[in-house]
Structure 1
Amino acid sequence: MKTSGLQVLAALLLSGAATPIWAGPMSDISYPQTRRDTVVETQFGEAIADPYRWLEDDVRHSSEVADWVSRENAVTEDYLTALPQRAQFQRRIRAFMDYERFGIPVKAGGSYFYTRNTGLQNQAQLFVRKGLDGKPRLLLDPNAWAKDGATALDSWEPSQKGRYLLYSVQDGGSDWRILRVIDVKTGEPLQDEVRWAKFTGLSWVGEEGFLYSRFPEPKEGAAFQSLNYNQAVYFHRIGTAQDADELVYATPDAPDRGHVADVTQDGRLALITSHVGTDARYEVRVIDLDKRKRDGWKAVPLVSGFTNDWKLVEGAGRKLWYVTNRNAPRYRLVGIDLDAPKAEWTEIVAEREDILERAGIVGDRLVLNYMRDAASHAEILALDGSVGKTLSLNGIGTASGFRGRPGDPETFYAFTSFNCPASIYRMDLATGVTTPFATPKMCYDPGAYVVEQRFFTSKDGTRVPMFIVRSRVVAKAKQPVPTLLYGYGGFDVSLTPGFSATRMAWLEAGGAFALANLRGGGEYGREWHDAGRRQNKQNVFDDFIAAGEFLVNEGIAKKDGLAIQGGSNGGLLVGAVVNQRPDLFAAAVAQVGVMDMLRFDRFTAGRYWTDDYGRPDREDDFKVLRAYSPYHNIREGAQYPAILVTTADTDDRVVPGHSFKYTAALQHANLGARPRLIRIETRAGHGSGKPTDKAIEEGADILAFVAQWTGLRLSAEASVAQAGEPTAATP
């Protein structure tokens, strides 16, 4: 199914808890001196000190900030490289990552396009082959684009007949994209190049050109910090310069609105989906491409009001199918015939207890992807919604894909879980036959690890689910072990089972991993999301604290060996709960976090987040934000866990100033002997596009740090107990 709208914020992996008995002399750290200014502003009658505001300056343009980054990194690197288990974790993460992996194929014009990484390549390559049995041919190799591997192939889309391939390039982890085109037959790049695309879809209009979204070119030196306004949709015709691109849709009178374009697979209709923030509340407009010569880019309203979520499934002629939560908090499938005398939405599949995440039309069937308690299952129905069959997915995991065309019964999907990487399957809906397309060979036995789901009770009595992953050896022993607890809890994002080489290295070493499905996410629809945002944000922190207490009380986590981790909105989560319950955790890893809740809306995409956080310039919202903002609520004199903050110099999603200021405040305060360090990656952003080498280094640093403070000790016995011969990780 095609998805429309802005995707802001992403999450990452782990984090921690309690006593420094394993740290020894390594806890005696001399932090760099950081200048404290006397910046004080009065907001709604309260004086708010911001002594480290100068650290908001862009590291590329401020020599003082660059010097601070260099000095902090030197201290952190000295500490992390001296950790006794770092080298072994690095080796094991590399081993768990060293397997051939494929992306889900996309079919166009009889050719199949897919990504492939041999294992340790910094970036996946893009291949094409004619027919399923054709010889693979390399089309794009991002590994040749930059010496440090930090220039990535982001998204890509073949034209409808497979003549061209449109792709976006991500450099240094930035959210900005460069769009380019390659001739599929010859493999030669075209001269076409589009810049300043961001949060864009890639949608072909026949073979003549494509629709994309872009912002105005930022002022000199402001590309990585200035707010994003006036996004517009343009049409680029193949063979022309960007300055000749046609404006398709914009709202200059409403510069805060963003717009993304999709084109139905038959090329008949273009759909413009507009959003205001991160909420899944959209307006939709339709452009009839067959009438373009007469009407131009005439966008006719289809859905108005920014009230509900509308996810395009597919179109055929003038008929459209959508998944929506209009009058259905857990989503339903609806359709509309634009040529009907009275065009109205008709319900095809009613709302159920499970969440309808996405849908696709393959051949003459509907493929519906549902989520139950944060795990996937799929169903195949007739186009009228009549009863079909359930697609069997073994075990607790996540299914994705199911892209296809009306009239073509072929589709591909992936299935993954915590203990097995993604396997790719081909399904023929006409025959009902499912066959493996790519099943990775691993250096371990997935069956040696057990995935279970437990439910715990939060502070207000709410029942919250959590996945717990351990080796069978550890689970059978029924003894508490060092445990990593991960959470996110925001922006309607659902955390579902997925594979991580870093997590596997932790599990192999004898630790446990837990993932809590906190309120604020999308695991149970709109009500679950609403229960964890704005004035309800404290519920997210209460859920995470309750998850930690549950792990300790149930004898899963050691009392002095619980670690927490979260990224982006999850980094905010870690910072907030450490302030509220520093006694519960031995270690904490806060990655690319939103740490200053009174100024988050002043940089890049931050203005979008007011949907979840509220507005700092409104008194009621200010009071809520002030109460939990990690930067403003550090508890002088409390005994804090060991804290590792991570960020990157090119993060233009959550600007690194958040982490810089938070770390400076941590290091200035009297919080006990445990370390408060920051790891600042260069030529990296919010997370996507990170080369394999950098991912391995970061994972080793995090695990070694957490292991040091939770008491996890690598042993030959642990490795031997979990390891096995290479095996196909088939669910």
Structure 2
Amino acid sequence: MTSKTPLWLALALGITLGGMTHAADTISPAAKDPNLWLENIDGTKQLDWVKQQNATTVKKYADSAEFKQLDARLLEVLDSHDRIPMVSKMGDHFYNFWRDKEHPKGLWRRTTLDEYRKDSPAWETVIDLDALSATEKENWVWHGAECLKPEYRRCTVFLSRGGADASVMREFDLKDKQFVKGGFELPEAKLSVDWMDIDHLYVATDFGPGSMTKSSYPRIVKEWKRGTPLSSATTVYEAKEDDMSVSAVRDQTPGFQRDLVTRQIAFYDSETFLRGKDGKLTKIDVPDDANVDAHREWLLVEPRSDWTVGGKTYKSGSLLAAKFDDYMAGKRDITVLFEPSDTTALDGYSWTRHHLILNVMDNVVNKLEVLTPGDGAWKREPLGGAPALSTIAAGGVDDDTSDDYFLTVSGFLQPTTLYYGTLEQGDAQAIKHSPSFFDASKYTVSQHFAASKDGTRVPYFEIASKNLKADGKNPTLQYGYGGFEVSLQPAYSGSVGRAWLEQGGVYVIANIRGGGEYGPRWHKAALKADRLRAYEDFAAVSQDLFQRNITSPQHLGAMGGSNGGLLMGNMLTLYPQLYGAVVSQVALLDMQRYTHLSAGASWIAEYGDPDKPAEWAWIQKFSPYFNAKAGQKYPPVLFTTSTRDDRVGPVHARKMAAKLQSLGYDASFYENIEGGHGAAADNKQAAFMSALGYTYLWDHVK
């Protein structure tokens, strides 16, 4: 078993949670903040302000025939029936969640492997979310399902109102294809649920006052028995109020059933416990900042800092293996499965029944290795490498029963191809091809390295016309993220092709520090007091584009979302001379108040705690809302967000736009009333939000 990521944590890392917790309503406001009133997210006066702002932005940027044509062309990409329907195997079926023009909210559906191999598989609908939403008069957004193996008949289904991170949970019968009357059901909250057996669940949710952390996630996990009220559930573990969250799972792997409880102390620190049949918890003795994973007889450990144990030191970013039972008994016989170099980092791994597939990045380009467990060193064989400046990934189909695997290959100009194979049985066979949405033959991809302020080499990808003239006049979009150890890798985007490349633009992705392109060290280099390194890196890429005469400040636009939206806020306030326009999406911006807004407290490990004067002294240097001031030459900026975003929340964007407008700057704002942190609840909304961002930049930098 690969340890499952709790739903809240999976959602918390999205780039691509009502029951909302807004501590902002109960704390002392920052001194003399005239925009504090906008923190009342659902207030009538506040939403009237939002609607007025939306109308102004739509009239200026989204009301032309050209915009409507682009919007329609982007929706065509998202709704295409020729997209690859990615699947996961449960029992004898392969399941997929699918949205298109006819099913905007989506279908949860299934098919067999033989059917899936066909160009047009026959699908069986399991849940029609559009029909369910219409019947219940709710705007349901799919948040996934967890089904109890090995029967895979009973499932917990998670549904969100309008795309918020908070979900309701209901029990569903896969055979009868209907919700179980009188079955397990939980009201809307940020929650984590896992099957113990047919009659018991592990549940971490909002149990009432005091049961949530300051980060607005569950603080208590309980064991809940079928047919009993939730109030009678037995407490398994209570985390501290200052912790991030808690969760529990049962590994259902036949012959290796284990119960694991995880206390998420902070975003990168946790403790994992093995829960005995008597309820006793035994900590897995690894550093708090290490990731652990139990699979069959193996324990895998990823230390995020150098770790000395058993007389040996293992490098940060390594992948280590030990026999689980032996390790718990005190033995420290550890095998190194991967050790990073100056240019390599572990991108991920996946088990099959008898093997482990490693995905390694070398200067942000992937290669795959197959490892076979054994005593001492594991057997190693290459599985394949990505084509030049592309991305390759592979994952086991069913690690309980087979060595089958899916493999995908994708690039900026190469639509995704899906392969299916069996390890040690020849090459994988292509079974699905994503359509091409623009003529890629006109463009070329290149990788470059810029020198940051401190001399660090920062990689970036450039996608441009083969006939590009280095005259400094090319409209260029520079995209970045730079946080939470998230890597930006080559990937095909029909939207980028249609909205930017076809217009004659150059598209650039900056692999700045704070990301995971070179593992934990690359991420840690821009943590907390070192946050400015990420912004220096992004600026260095911009300046390298100028030096190479690709573009110039008046023709360079910058875009980023979430943590990347914070990046955009800082490029606006710290480096305004470099950009002709900026788009900041679902962003953090008020870093003095962020820990009191929505789920902000969960990111103290990334940014620091502004309530501590010593830390606020350096946080304020990258707080765009704090640093925005009159008399500067800020470029035009667009802030986009969502009312239903209960992760970052819409407050940051509202206040930043209002402040800049009050200072006389060209600041536009658009808030989708639905959509959650992704800012869109369906493909139509997603296409509109994308078209708005691209149109805004093009209008200003063309």
Q: Say whether 1:315 aligns with 2:295.
A: yes
Q: Deviations over 1:344-380 (max 9, x none)?
A: 3522414132212322221211111212222322111
In structure 2, relative to structure 1, the CA distance for the partners of 1:343 and 1:229 (3 Å cut) is same
Q: Within 1, Cα distance between the matches of 2:391 and 2:238?
A: 36
* Counterparts of residues 268-279 of structure 1 (less than 5 Å): 268-279=257-268
> 2:326 matched to 1:344?
no
Q: After superposition, what is the alpha-carbon deviation per residue over 1:672-707, rounded to whole angstroms, capped at 9, x for unaligned?
A: xxx311001112221076300001111121222111
Per-residue deviation at 1:661? 1.0
1:398-435, CA deviations, whole angstroms, 9 ceiling, x for partnerless residues? 34451331551112243333334443322211413312
Post-superposition shift, 1:257?
4.1
Question: CA separation in 1, counterparts of 2:590 and 2:538?
Answer: 20
CA spacing shift, 1:642–1:534, aligned 2, 3 Å: same
| Count of matched residue pairs | 660
Secondary structure of the structure 1 residue equivalent to 2:280: coil
User: 2:119: which partner in 1?
Assistant: none
Q: After TM superposition, list the pairs within 5 Å mapping 1:85-124 onto structure 2.
A: 85-99=66-80, 100-118=82-100, 121-124=103-106
Aligned to 1:138: 125
Q: 1:720: which partner in 2?
A: none
Secondary structure of the structure 2 residue equivalent to 1:412: strand
Match of 1:53 among 32, 36, 40: 36
Q: 1:248 to 1:311 in 2, by over 3 A?
A: same
SS at match of 1:514: strand
- SS across alignment from 1:635: coil
2:626 corresponds to 1:632: yes
Are 1:256 and 2:247 counterparts? no
Q: State whether residues 50 and 671 of structure 2, in contact with CA within 8 Å, keep that contact through their aligned partners in structure 1.
A: yes
Local SS of the residue matching 1:146 = helix
CA distance in structure 2 between the partners assigned to 1:141 and 1:2 by the alignment: 29
Quick one: which of 664, 673, 679 aligns to 2:670?
A: 679
The residue number in structure 2 matching 1:156 is 145
- Give the whole-Å Cα distance in 2 for the aligned partners of 1:637 and 1:343: 64
Q: Is the 8 A contact 2:79 2:99 kept in 1?
A: no
SS state at 2:436 partner:
strand
- CA gap of 1:496–1:434, structure 2 versus 1, over 3 A, is same
Question: How far is 1:330 from its partner?
Answer: 2.1
Separation in 1, partners of 2:653, 2:567: 13
CA distance in 2, matches of 1:208, 1:524: 44
Cα-to-partner distance string for 1:220-261 (whole Å, 9 max, x where unaligned):
xx99x985155233344556654454433322x555241233
Instruction: Give yes or no for the alignment of 1:542 onto 2:536.
Output: yes
Identity %: 25
Task: Show CA shifts across 1:112-169 (max 9, x none).
Answer: 2233345774244222234544853111222334369952212223321222233211
Equivalent in 165, 179, 187 of residue 195 of structure 1: 187
For residues 492 and 470 of structure 1, the distance between their equivalents in structure 2, rounded to whole angstroms, comes to 27
Higher relative contact order (CA 8 A, sep 6+): 1
CA contact (8 A) 2:346 2:359 kept: yes
Q: Deviations over 1:319-343 (max 9, x none)?
A: 4334444432122131233157544
Which amino acid is the alignment partner of residue 534 of structure 2?
V
Deviates more, 1:423-432 or 1:563-572: 423-432
- For structure 1, the 5+ residue unaligned runs are 14-38, 43-47, 712-731
Alpha carbons 2:290, 2:301 under 8 Å: kept: no
Q: Which residue of 2 aligns with 1:332?
A: 319
Q: Deviations over 1:185-238 (max 9, x none)?
A: 2212213322344263x543344444343233479xx99x98515523334455
Asked whether the equivalents of residues 487 and 517 of structure 1 are also in contact (C-alpha less than 8 Å), the reply is yes
Is the Cα contact below 8 Å between 1:399 and 1:414 reproduced in 2? yes
How many Å apart are 1:579 and its aligned residue?
A: 1.0
Report if the CA contact (8 A) 2:78-2:100 is conserved: no
Paired AA for residue 50 in structure 1: D
User: 1:31-82, CA deviations, whole angstroms, 9 ceiling, x for partnerless residues?
Assistant: xxxxxxxx9988xxxxx53121111112x2x222122212222222221234
Amino acid at match of 1:248: V
Moved more, 453-462 or 348-357: 348-357
CA distance in 2, matches of 1:227, 1:528: 26
Which residue in the other structure is 1:724 paired with? none
Q: CA deviation at 1:625?
A: 1.7
2:499 aligned with 1:499: no
1:590/1:657 CA distance change after superposition, 3 Å:
same
* Counterpart check, 1:703 vs 2:694: yes
Q: How far apart, in 1, do the equivalents of 2:138 and 2:470 lie?
A: 43
Q: Name which of structure 1's ranges 507-516 and 255-264 shifts more when overlaid on structure 2.
A: 255-264
C-alpha contact (below 8 Å) 1:471/1:508 kept by paired residues: no
Residue 3 of structure 1 and its aligned partner are, at CA, apart by 5.1
Match for residue 299 of structure 1 among 263, 266, 281:
281
The runs of 4+ residues in structure 1 deviating greater than 6 Å are 39-42, 476-479
Corresponding letter in the other structure for 2:62: T
| Paired residue secondary structure (2:163) | coil
Moved more, 688-697 or 337-346: 337-346
> Could you say if the C-alpha distance between residues 9 and 406 of structure 1 is closer, same or farther in structure 2, counting changes exceeding 3 Å?
closer
Within the alignment, does 1:394 sit opposite 2:387 as a pair? yes
Is residue 193–residue 242 contact of structure 1 (8 Å, CA) maintained in 2?
Answer: no
- Give the Cα–Cα distance (whole angstroms) in 2 for the partners of residues 41 and 249 of structure 1: 34
Q: Which amino acid letter does the alignment assign opposite residue 109 of structure 2?
A: F
The verdict on how the C-alpha distance between 1:430 and 1:616 changes in structure 2, with shifts beyond 3 A counting, is: same
Matched letter for residue 318 of structure 2: Y
Contact 1:181 1:190 (C-alpha < 8 Å) held by counterparts = yes
Conservation of the 8 A alpha-carbon contact between 2:443 and 2:465: yes
Cα distance in 2, alignment partners of residues 282 and 464 from structure 1: 30
Is contact 2:99–2:683 with CA below 8 Å preserved after alignment? no
Q: Which moved more, 1:521-530 or 1:87-96?
A: 87-96
Q: TM-score scaled to structure 2, two decimals?
A: 0.86
Closer/same/farther in 2, CA of residues 402 and 688 from structure 1, 3 Å limit: farther
Distance across 1 between alignment mates of 2:358 and 2:154: 30
From the superposition, tell whether residues 502 and 426 of structure 1 become closer, same or farther in structure 2 (CA, over 3 Å): same
For residue 614 of structure 1, report the CA deviation from its aligned partner.
Answer: 1.0
Q: Compared with structure 1, are the counterparts of its residues 667 and 485 closer, same or farther at alpha carbon in structure 2 (3 Å cutoff)?
A: same
When the two chains are superposed, the root-mean-square deviation of aligned CA atoms in Å is 3.0
C-alpha contact 1:229 1:255 (8 A) present in aligned 2: no
Change beyond 3 A, Cα 1:92–1:705: same
Q: Which residue identity lines up with residue 527 of structure 1 in the other structure?
A: R
Counterpart-to-counterpart distance in 1, 2:592 and 2:317: 33
Change (3 A) 1:319 1:688: farther
The range that moved more, 318-327 or 624-633, is 318-327
- Where in structure 2 are the equivalents of 1:350-369 lying within 5 Å? 350-353=338-341, 354-369=344-359
Give the AA of the match of 2:299.
Answer: L
Unaligned runs of 5+ in 2: 17-26, 117-121, 308-313
Question: Residues 229 and 189 of structure 1: is their aligned pair in 2 closer, same or farther, counting only changes over 3 Å?
Answer: closer
Structure 1 residue 576, shift from structure 2 partner? 1.1
What is the distance in 2 between the residues matched to 1:502 and 1:343?
52
Question: Against the structure 1 CA distance between its residues 153 and 413, is the aligned structure 2 distance closer, same or farther, given a 3 Å change threshold?
Answer: farther
Q: Is the 8 A contact 1:231 1:255 kept in 2?
A: no
Partner residue of 1:22?
Answer: none
